[in-house]
Structure 1
């Protein structure tokens, strides 16, 4: 009987060991199935879908559209004064507008040279543009009876002013006035070709008004290069000091 009781104890111990090992194996299998927190944190984020793409960057200096938030509208700025506003506007530049009107009717060569001098403030700019304009003006007036040659030389100043201040051209102005959006405005190269042709047509057909409008525009935007607008600080030397008794 003693031997039988002794032989039964190891069987019970074996049963307990087998149950403990089975529990450990089941827990270890569950731990293997569950991903660790390190692997979850290290997993890369899924790529953004097409519906949740971030909005494209809006170019600087362009107005925003009112329909869709963040949508850029490629619309140029308007001229400060209309083409046929010969006397300008009643503002702080009223006297300058009258001067531009007189120069455009009496001495357009001087007004044209002054306009180019403000755009390109380099030495000799005024004479380099005023003298050829004067020669073409005299040839056209003496041979054909009107100023028909100088506009073919001076229309480039209108193109330069339009590009410098991002202004709308004649084609874009007509399209905006009729409430239409032609397809050529979408292509930058074609739009510039059409606008350059409109600049030439404006100078040939209505040259005095065109050159006066350009004069009013540059005088409102660019000061004359001969005027010194910077403040200069003058430092005086100290006075002589004497020792008191």
Structure 2
């Protein structure tokens, strides 16, 4: 006549919840596991502009020199950040160097990351196509990409994971603790 507690208990982790059973007492009703729930609305992203020009290489002389003399290092750092740490800067830099030494077509690899950066940050494709830009003036393009990521708050020497740890540490320090509204002193 009356349902038993076992009929309303939570299923084991990873098992689907029966569709006919109401939620346990005191818990909010949820959509069945097999139905998709719309994700929460996200803030609108608007197109932006590059923070510096293509030929502003002298605004960061150390990066300019490093990019001209050993482009695999800044490229690796740029690629690691754009890939969100899935591959290390050393691997990206090594691939770039291998392509440079064996084929001379490293610009194809590096232009793909410029395109990825433009998509992530909604940057315009200027002054020309990404591939043409990297073919004609790769050091200037990579310096601009490096400056753009620095302008957006990345410390290029830390890599993706180091930047995420730094960001989480700053958020933990800056964010005040949460207290429920009903609590009083």
Calculate the TM-score normalised by the size of structure 1: 0.45
Match of 2:154 in 1: 223
Secondary structure of the residue that 1:156 maps to in structure 2? helix
Q: State how 1:58-69 maps to structure 2 within 5 Å.
A: 60-62=44-46
1:168 is aligned to 2:139? no
Structure 2 CA distance for aligned equivalents of residues 208 and 199 of structure 1: 13
Change (3 A) 1:61 1:131: closer
Match of 2:100 in 1: 137
Give the superposition deviation at 1:222: 4.0
- List runs of 5+ in structure 2 lacking aligned partners: 1-42, 174-185
Match of 1:149 in 2: 105
Structure 1 CA distance for aligned equivalents of residues 139 and 74 of structure 2: 10
Give the superposition deviation at 1:221: 1.0
Q: 2:144 aligns with which of 213, 218, 237?
A: 213
Question: How many pairs are equivalent?
Answer: 122
1:101 is aligned to 2:64? yes
Structure 1 CA distance for aligned equivalents of residues 80 and 150 of structure 2: 11
1:87 is aligned to 2:43? no
Structure 1 CA distance for aligned equivalents of residues 61 and 119 of structure 2: 26
Please give the per-residue CA displacement for 1:5-59, whole angstroms capped at 9, x wherever unaligned.
xxxxxxxxxxxxxxxxxxxxxxxxxxxxxxxxxxxxxxxxxxxxxxxxxxxxxx9
- List runs of 5+ in structure 1 lacking aligned partners: 1-58, 63-75, 89-96, 141-147, 175-197, 234-245
Q: Which has the larger radius of gyration?
A: 1
Match of 1:43 in 2: none
Q: State how 1:193-212 maps to structure 2 within 5 Å.
A: 198-212=129-143
Structure 1 CA distance for aligned equivalents of residues 74 and 144 of structure 2: 11
Structure 2 CA distance for aligned equivalents of residues 155 and 86 of structure 1: 18
Say if 1:118 and 1:222, in contact at 8 Å, map to a contact too: no
Change (3 A) 1:133 1:168: same
Structure 2 CA distance for aligned equivalents of residues 201 and 125 of structure 1: 26
Runs of 4+ aligned structure 1 residues displaced above 4 Å come to none
Secondary structure of the residue that 1:87 maps to in structure 2? helix
**Superposition RMSD in Å:** 2.2
Give the superposition deviation at 1:119: 1.7
Calculate the TM-score normalised by the size of structure 2: 0.59
